[in-house]
Amino acid sequence: MKKLFLITVLCSVCAGLFAGPLIDAAKARDYKTFEKLVKSNADLNETDEKGMNVQLSLAYFNVKDFKKACKLLAKKGFDFDVPVANNISLVYVLAYSCAHEKLSVLLKYKVDVNRKNSITELKPIEATQFSTFKFFSEQIIPDDAYDRAQKTRKLLLQHGSDAFKYCDLTFGNVGNFFFCLANVFSSIDPFITPQKLNSYNLFDYSNFKDQTLVIVNQQLLEKVFLEFGVGATINNYYDSQEILEKLIECTESPYPFILIGNTGNNPIAPYQWVNINGGSYMEDKSITASLDAFSPDALYDFVSYDVQDISQLVTIQLNYLYDLDNLEDEMEEAEEEPVIISSLY
């Protein structure tokens, strides 16, 4: 039977959740409809079923339409600073995505530039650091990432933000790609935990601007799969059309696949890694099709993803199972002492 290897420990989100008309128009980047609705006295306080509000949906507009939308809403006495769950505000998501052009527009209105989210307690200026972090060896960081982060920080400082500082290296800061893997391995071994997986030799270490980075190394990851008795073939895809084709191909394949995507094209949560468990792309055959995706980062539970949001697709084909009693030859190079990141917590 043709099937996608589902991560059984996950609850995939429903595709095509109902949203209010303003949020729908913003997410579709349809400013004309958005403007018409606002002028027709649409409900500015609407939210969708995942908790997205009108404020954060504005981030979907390009810079030109974002400016027009803000000007239009300001005439209605709109409060731009109402957060969604976890105290995430529009200021925070624009800082997180280093969208300094939009942020320069938003900061003309009354907003709190030091509002902390309620999970990591990071401020908007501190959220800018994730645009420059690499958490997987095959992940591509845009050439202008650091420049955009610096411009965003400068802008926030000019408007009263507290000083910027990098996060300390903690178990939680090994990156979302690692926690997507934890979901994967827990479907192979129900007794595995992130802490236990953390004890395997998975990581490379590096430094960036005095910040220690922890990167999952693809070659080491393949060896860890072998330790679990699984042969894994890992491939990476970066082109939107090819990503769509691979999603369909993997879903139709008789072989088990694990799919992990980087949401670099999403304007609200561009540095997330998500487990992909299907979506409407099988019917729509379109990059605008919705995804059934799970993000281990609870900060962004209010975000839903489409195929076009995925900037990198990692496909992991599970090729065969080993007899765990006969792994000596295969694991000869993987018997180094593990580095335990949680000891740095």
What sign results for the dihedral spanned by CA atoms 324, 325, 330, 334?
A: positive
CB-based contact 56:84 (threshold 8 Å): yes
pLDDT at 134: 87
| Tokens read off for 240 | 């939107």
Q: So what CATH class is 171-344?
A: alpha beta
Type of residue at 294: F
Domain ranges of the chain: 21-158, 171-344
* Overall size of the chain counted in residues: 345
Residue type (1 letter), 183: N
| Predicted pLDDT of residue 20 | 79
The b-or-e profile of 60-85 (16+ CB within 10 A means b, else e) is bbeeebbbebbeebeeeebebbebbb
Q: What is the pTM of this model?
A: 0.85
In tens digits, the chain (345 residues) has pLDDT values of 334 443 333 333 333 344 579 999 999 999 999 999 999 999 999 999 999 999 999 999 999 999 999 999 999 999 999 999 999 999 999 999 999 999 999 999 999 999 999 998 999 999 999 998 889 999 999 999 999 999 999 999 999 999 998 887 665 567 889 999 999 999 888 899 988 998 999 999 887 767 777 899 999 999 999 998 899 999 999 999 999 999 999 999 999 999 999 999 999 999 999 999 999 999 999 999 999 999 998 899 999 999 999 999 999 999 865 444 454 554 454 444 443 332 222
Rounded to whole angstroms, the Cα distance separating 105 from 62 reads 12
CATH domain 21-158 topology = 1.25.40
CA distance 217 to 28: 36
Which stretches within 199-308 are classed as H helix? 218-227, 240-252, 281-284
Whole-number pLDDT of residue 320: 63
| Radius of gyration from C-alpha coordinates of the chain | 21
pLDDT at res. 308:
96
Number of helices (H), then strands (E), belonging to the chain: the values are 13, 7
Q: How does pLDDT run across 48-72, given as a tens digit for each residue?
A: 999 999 999 999 999 999 999 999 9
pLDDT tens column, 309-322: 999 999 999 986 54
Q: Which amino acid is at 78?
A: F
